[in-house]
Structure 1
Amino acid sequence: MPEWPEMENYREQLAAKIAGQPIIGAEVSREKSINMDKETFIRELAGRTVWFVERRGKMLVFHLDNGKRLVLHLMLGGMIRFGGEEDLPGRSVQVAISFPNGTLSFIGLRLGYLHLLTAKEVAGKFSELGPDPFDVRLTPVRFRERFRGKRGSLKSALVDQHVLAGIGNCYADEIAFDAEVRPDARLQDLEPETWDRLYGSMRKVLREAASYGGYMEMPLSSEDTRTGGYNERCRVYDRGGEPCPRCGAAIEQGEIGGRKFFSCRSCQRDR
């Protein structure tokens, strides 16, 4: 599932392609992927202009010139593609929105969705999300406070969207590795300096991953050569059995609450 870096990468690319562009048409082949009947959805979008593209956690928000917003959550299996029909990857398109310079296709939205909402509805939808990892109000002290009173493993807390918005399986492991702490470490055992390292590692890893287009190799367009560039730079995620890039010991794979995790038992500590 796309996480903070993947969606930030898409946001940057889409902002350059469609911000300020009018919508000249829309098609819907799967009504369950939207939140109204398709005739109303298409009519509501006709002639509207995308003012700017925002990211909130793992979601994208397309701000329209009439104050409404399109909220996209790709979930598992979803992807987006911008260009002509010849640029499509051969999978079914659930929704397509056309602009003068190309069509934005929403693909594989079986679990994901594209909803047209008012500003108030969006605020309500996001009200239970935790802060963005780069929220200016999320200081190291407030970062630690987000986990106060919680029990269980570090990874389970990092991927909880009510705690922080945008981190998933891949980057929880990468952040823990960078901070030299095990993903299955118990929250209540972590030392103050470990929390400081986690805060710094979170920002470092997410920023670096976004600069390389994230780890998921799903390019936005035919000329997109950045998306997926972080996959080969992952230190531990999906690297079970490979040597640790820090100490050389074998990277191990485990499971926490049904989620797999990857770590180095030799150089990642439990507190």
Structure 2
Amino acid sequence: MPELPEMENYKLLLNQRIIGRIITDVQVEREKSINVTVPLFQHALIGSSVREVERRAKHLLFHLSNSHVLVLHLMLGGMLFYGTEKEKPDRTVQVTISFGSMSLYFIGLRLGYLHYYDPVDAERFLQKLGPEPMESAFTISRFGQLMQKQSGTLKSVLVDQSVMAGIGNCYSDEICFEAGLLPSRRCKQLADPEMETLYHSMRHVLAEATRSGGYMEMPLFVEDRLTGGYDKQCKVYDREGEPCVRCGRPLIRHDVSSKKSFCCQHCQR
């Protein structure tokens, strides 16, 4: 599932390509992927343009010139592609938004959605989300206060979108490895130095993953060399049986709080 770095990467690349371009056509192959009727969706979008693409947690917000917002959540298996009909991958497309000869294809939205809201409803829809972990206002003090209130494991708390927004299965494991902490540790068990290390590890991993284009492998467009660049840099996620980069011991999969999790039981305490 795309997480904060993947959606931030999409945001940056799309802002370079679709801002100000008039939407000329809209096709919906799966009506359950949207929250209004297909005719209303098409009528609202065609003739408008995207003023800005913003990210909130694992969502992308397409701010339209008609003052409404498209809220995208890709969920498991969802991805985007921008290009021509000839260039698009051979994958099932649920929604297509066209800008002349170029289109933005919303792929694999079996669980994901692209909802159309007015600004008030969009804000209401997203208000349940916790703070953004990379914002400057999210200080180490605020992080510590927030985490100390939680009774769950690091794994369950880091992926809880109401606690902090944007982290999922992959980066929760990478953050815990960077901090030298097992995902099964309880938040309330952490000493102050461990909490500080966890905070800096979180900021470092998310920043590095974003700079490298996240871990999703399919490029956003032809000749996209950025998207997916972090996949080979993951140190533990989906690396069961591979040697730990720190100690050489085999990495294990040890599910925590009913979520798949990968770690090194030797290096992480």
Fraction of identical pairs, as percent: 51
Q: TM-score, structure 1 length as denominator? A: 0.96
The amino acid that maps onto 2:58 is K
Unpaired runs of 5+ residues, structure 2, are none
Contact 2:3-2:167 at 8 Å conserved across structures: yes
Question: What's the CA shift string for 1:208-235, capped at 9, x where partnerless?
Answer: 1111111121211112121111111111
Counterparts of residues 1-271 of structure 1 (less than 5 Å): 1-100=1-100, 102-269=102-269
CA distance in 1 between partners of 2:184 and 2:148 (Å):
17
Question: What's the CA shift string for 1:98-127, capped at 9, x where partnerless?
Answer: 113610011111100001101101110111
The amino acid that maps onto 1:68 is H
CA deviation after TM superposition for structure 1 residue 147, in Å: 2.0
The amino acid that maps onto 2:100 is P
Q: Secondary structure at the match of 1:121?
A: helix
Contact 2:153-2:257 at 8 Å conserved across structures: no
CA distance in 1 between partners of 2:145 and 2:22 (Å):
43
Unpaired runs of 5+ residues, structure 1, are none
CA distance in 1 between partners of 2:37 and 2:63 (Å):
21
Contact 2:34-2:115 at 8 Å conserved across structures: yes
CA distance in 2 between partners of 1:126 and 1:148 (Å):
24
CA deviation after TM superposition for structure 1 residue 149, in Å: 2.5
CA deviation after TM superposition for structure 1 residue 77, in Å: 1.2
CA distance in 2 between partners of 1:235 and 1:143 (Å):
24
Contact 2:177-2:263 at 8 Å conserved across structures: yes
Q: Secondary structure at the match of 1:125?
A: helix
Q: Secondary structure at the match of 1:259?
A: coil
CA distance in 2 between partners of 1:205 and 1:136 (Å):
16
More displaced 10-residue stretch of structure 1: 166-175 or 145-154: 145-154
CA deviation after TM superposition for structure 1 residue 81, in Å: 0.7
Q: TM-score, structure 2 length as denominator? A: 0.97
Alignment RMSD (CA, Å): 1.1
Q: Secondary structure at the match of 1:146?
A: helix
> Matched residue pairs, number?
269
CA distance in 2 between partners of 1:172 and 1:79 (Å):
21
Q: Secondary structure at the match of 1:32?
A: helix
The amino acid that maps onto 2:104 is L
Q: Secondary structure at the match of 1:145?
A: helix
Q: Secondary structure at the match of 1:246?
A: coil
